[in-house]
Amino acid sequence: MRTKEQAERALQYAKEQLEKELDPLMRKNFEIMKRSLEAIGNPLRVFDWDKAAQLIKDFGTKEASAGLLDDWNWTADAIFTDGVPNMQCKCFLASTWALPMLEIDCERIECWRMESETPGWHAHTVWPESALRILEET
C-alpha cells in the first residue's frame, strides 16, 4: 500500500509525463496511472453478477466476457461459454477508477454496483448463487 506522500509524488510524475510528447501507448499508460492514483480513497465498484445474468438471459447469448474498461486486456476473461457459466474465469472485476463491464456480441455494457451494495462480492467473485438462480429462471 502506498503512503499518501508516495501517491502524491507518483501522481505529480504522471502529470509531468503527460505534458510531454509521448507515443500513444505511453500516453495511455500514464493516463491510466493518473486516474488510478486520483481514485485512491474512492469507494470500490464491483461487477454486478445479477445484472450480468439478467442481460445474458435477455440477450439469449451463448458467450459473454467481463473486465474493467480501460484495463480490459489485463482484467477480462470469458464468464459465459457455450451457454454455460464459466466457474473457472480469472477476471478481476473491482476498481476505484475503472468501470466493470460486461461484453456481449462485441458490445460492452456498464455492469457494476458499489461494493457496499453487494452481499460481499469482490474482485474475484465468480457466479454467486443469486446470479446462477437468475440464469435458471424460466
In sequence order, the 6+-apart residues with CB closer than 8 A to the CB of 67 are: 75, 76, 77, 91, 92, 93, 100, 101, 103
Give per-residue burial for 75-92: e unless 16+ CB within 10 Å, then b.
Answer: bbbbbbeeeebbeebebb
pTM check: above 0.85: no
Q: What parts of the chain have a pLDDT lower than 50?
A: none
**β-pair partners for 84:** 81
So what's the pLDDT on residue 49? 98
Alpha-carbon distance 79 to 93, whole Å? Answer: 11
What is the pLDDT at residue 2? 54
Spatial separation of the C-alpha atoms in residues 17 and 23, rounded to whole Å: 11
